Each structure stands twice: as C-alpha cells, then as structure tokens.
Structure 1
Amino acid sequence: MSITYARLEWDDQGRPLSSTYNDVYFSSLSGLEETHYVFLQHNRLAERFARLQDGDCMVIGETGFGTGLNFLCTWQLFRQQAVHDARLHFISVEKFPLQPADLSRALALWPELDEPAQQLASVYRHLLDGVQSICLDNNRVQLSLLIGDAREQLARLDTRTRVNAWFLDGFAPAKNPDMWTDQLFTQLARLSAPDATLATFTSAGFVRRGLQNAGFTMQRNKGFGHKREMLSGWLK
C-alpha cells in the first residue's frame, strides 16, 4: 500500500501543524480539553459507556485520525466507565497519516495519556503497513484505521458494523473542502446505528444543512475556546 504521509511543521510549543492544509491538528488552548468537550461530551459517551452491559460493543466512527488524540481520550474514558466485558470498536479514516515518529512526538504533549499512547505506538506501524484492524487492551478495544479518502473508504464498508457515535473531525471545511461533502454525509447516515449521534468542531452552515439532508437532526452548541459555535446531532 502506497502511503502519502502528513507534511508537518512544529510550533514553538511542540504542537504539529499541517503544511498541506495550513491548519492545526487541535486547539492551541488545549487539544485534550477540546476532544473531551466536542467529541466525548457532545456524544454523551461517559453515560453511554456506563450503560454498556457485558458483551456489548460500542462503535465509534471518526473522520481524521490525525495524532490519535481522539482515540486515546475515548479509550481512556471507556476504561473508566465501561464494565470489564464490554468492548469498544473505534473506526477511523485518515488520508495523510503521521509518520510513527511524528505521532509519538505529538502525543508526548500529554503525559496523562502515556500508557495508552505507548500501546498505540507499538501497533501503529502495523496499521500503516496494511493491517487495517488491531486489538488492544486485552482485546477489549479494537482499532480499525482506514488509510485514504474518507468518502471512498467509508463507501467500501458494509453495514454489518453500525456506528453508534461519529467524530466528524479533520481539518476545517475552509481548508479541506474535498472532505466535507454531501457524499460523506450520506455515508455517515448509511453506516449509522439507530439513534446514532454526531459531533463536530465546525458550525459551518453548509455542513449543518448537508447533515440535515442526510437525515441527521442538527443543533448548534457553544464552541470550544475561541470558537463561537459547534454542531452536534443525532440520526432521526
């Protein structure tokens, strides 16, 4: 598999920026807090993880794996809230993955994630080498990383695995318009479980309308940090 890796610059705080999109990977205020607020809180994951029964599996879908921060925060919350025999399946798409060394460098910004970050680093190369799905945490957590265009990769998935919550991430619509399309929104709806939820950092009007046209009920929420608004929603 031929991979085009992310081209990065690093700011004076050691945070990665995309040279391709001229955009940040996470908020300059706190990437960790942004993930918790936008994706975990607005998909109500703490309470949903706590409701899981033995043998249940929660499926999270994400556009834009990036540094893996969202995955690690989700995994950490799952460990804290879910019963021992529940499972997490995290499916993420990434067009330009980070080099392994860059991924480790970025995640070193959060010492509180060091243990799961080391687990991720130990398998990340295998994911890049074409092993699309790998188990972690004594098989409680399954990470599926799909390398390529989000629309194309999601279109290849069948609906046997239904997504319960979506993290609509990636670079801002103004920077990466090729991803934020009606074709993508249609795939999100097609792959969603009944009552699936969705959250995204952007509040762009065309994103809200596109998701509504795909079947999601959308609402504006207070944004994180300097962002005035963000979007969250659920499948009708």
Structure 2
Amino acid sequence: MTQKPITQAALEWRDGLPYSPAFNDVYFSSDDGLLETEHVFIQGNALVNRWQQLPGDTFTILETGFGTGLNFLCACRAWLTHAPVNAALHFISVEKHPLGAADMHKALLHWQPLHAMASELLTHYDTLLETGTASLFNDRVQLQVLFGDATACLSGCSTKADAWFLDGFAPAKNPDMWQPALFAQMARLSHPQTTFATFTSAGIVRRGLTATGFKVVKIPGFGRKREMITGYFIGHGHGS
C-alpha cells in the first residue's frame, strides 16, 4: 500500500507557544502544559501505580494526536522512573499533520525538565517522519506514529491499548476527529483493563464513549478547566 504524502502542520508562534491557525487552537496549555499532561494523561490513567505493579513485560498506549510529543515524553519519563527495567513501553500515536523538525525542536525547548528526553526524540525525529517508527531509551520505548486521519489509521491497527491518551484539538474546533467511528475503533482496540483519559468533558465525547462500551467518569480538570473525563472499557451492553 502506497503511503500518502504527509502534509506537515502549518504553525504560528504566539508568545513563544505553538498555535494552529487551521484549528484555531493551541498545542499545549499556556498555564503549564507539562503539569496538564501529568494531570490529564499520567494521573488520569493511573499509570505510575499500574507500572509499579506491571504484571507483564509490555504496556501499550494508543494516542490520538502526537502534536509536539509532550504527552509521549511525559509518559517516557514516568515509564523510565517507575516501570520494571526489563519491560517495554509501546506507544502508538496517530497524527494527521506532524510538526516539521524545526518546529518540533522549538516547541520542545519550552520544557526545561524534559530537555534530555526531548534530545533523544529529536535525534530520531527525521527517521520517525520517514518510517513512522523509532526505538528509544535503550529499546525500553518503542514509538510508532501513524500519519493520517485518526479513525482511518486506527481501523488499520490491530494492537490493543492498555491506556488511551485521547488528545487532539478541542471537539468544537476539530469535529472531524471526535466522531462515533473513532470511539468504535477505540472499543475494538480495548480490553477489560483498558483505561482512557482526556482533557475534554464535552457531551459528544462522553456520549460517544458510553455508547461504545466505556465507563465514563468526570473528575476535576487542570488549571482553568473545571472538568475532564477518565474511565475504562466495560464492553457493550453496559450502561455508564
């Protein structure tokens, strides 16, 4: 199958932060994107606890929206700190419009605590754009980025998620992604211990996840965001 040409993201930089004019939205929180990622995705999926008690030798995260790689690097940092040294993290992300190497470098300079980890990603970034895969941190992390529409990419995926990072631009600004077909693919790629977390608590997302077999729980959001949602897969035929 021939790979379609990748259209890289067209960014603007506003007050030193990457902004998407196409989606009229920011790539990460101006409050503190790093703390937001920790709150929403790492804590929202209870990853530290789960990794300290990991029953097997692999753990798989599926993500919608690779963006600046901030979620990925936060997950790597927690993994390298808390997971068994002989275990491997498989991180599979979808991205329709990846950042070019220069924009990626500039975006990641923003996060001083992640500089060493970002350096590892940036070393492999050109290869990642070409092949969609990279092995990092002495093979303890296997990264795969699927370039294209989220639902289409996931429909060609067969790897089950242990946790979902449901990201991407806000539902009101990126309605093409937050569709019933996406939630159906999430259900197909989940098992009874699969969790999810997302920054949004929009009704379309809550209803879509509930309809495809996820238990949805509202919890306090980060910073100025009043609410976010987390939950887990319970299968079809269950109410939330």
| Fold shared by both chains (TM-score > 0.5) | yes
SS at match of 1:217: strand
Write the letter of the residue equivalent to 1:136: L
SS at match of 2:192: strand
Deviations 1:89-124 (A, max 9, x none): 000000010001100100000111111111111111
SS at match of 1:234: strand
CA contact (8 A) 2:45 2:196 kept: yes
One of 205, 221, 228 as aligned partner of 2:219:
221
Residue 219 of structure 1, CA deviation: 1.0
- Specify the alignment match of 1:210 in structure 2: 208
SS at match of 2:66: coil
SS at match of 1:29: coil
One of 34, 43, 49 as aligned partner of 1:47:
49
Unaligned ranges ≥5, structure 1: none
Matches of 2:73 and 2:52 in 1, distance apart?
18
- Specify the alignment match of 1:9 in structure 2: 12
Q: Does 1:106 align with 2:107?
A: yes
Matches of 1:209 and 1:176 in 2, distance apart?
17
Write the letter of the residue equivalent to 2:61: I
Root mean square deviation, CA, Å: 1.0
Q: Does 1:139 align with 2:139?
A: yes
SS at match of 2:223: coil
Count of matched residue positions in the alignment of Structure 1 and Structure 2: 231
Unaligned ranges ≥5, structure 2: 235-240
- Specify the alignment match of 2:237 in structure 1: none
CA contact (8 A) 2:161 2:191 kept: yes
- Specify the alignment match of 1:31 in structure 2: 33
Deviations 1:128-171 (A, max 9, x none): 11x1222111111000100000000000012xx21100000000
Write the letter of the residue equivalent to 1:179: M
TM-score by length of structure 2 reads 0.94
Deviations 1:148-196 (A, max 9, x none): 00000000012xx211000000000000000000000000111113220
TM-score by length of structure 1 reads 0.96
- Specify the alignment match of 1:175 in structure 2: 173
Regions of 4+ moved over 2 Å? none
Matches of 2:134 and 2:211 in 1, distance apart?
34
SS at match of 2:177: coil
- Specify the alignment match of 1:155 in structure 2: 155
Q: Does 1:64 align with 2:65?
A: yes
CA contact (8 A) 2:68 2:108 kept: yes
Matches of 1:127 and 1:214 in 2, distance apart?
32
CA contact (8 A) 2:62 2:93 kept: yes
After the TM superposition, which of the residue ranges 199-208 and 132-141 deviates more from structure 2?
132-141
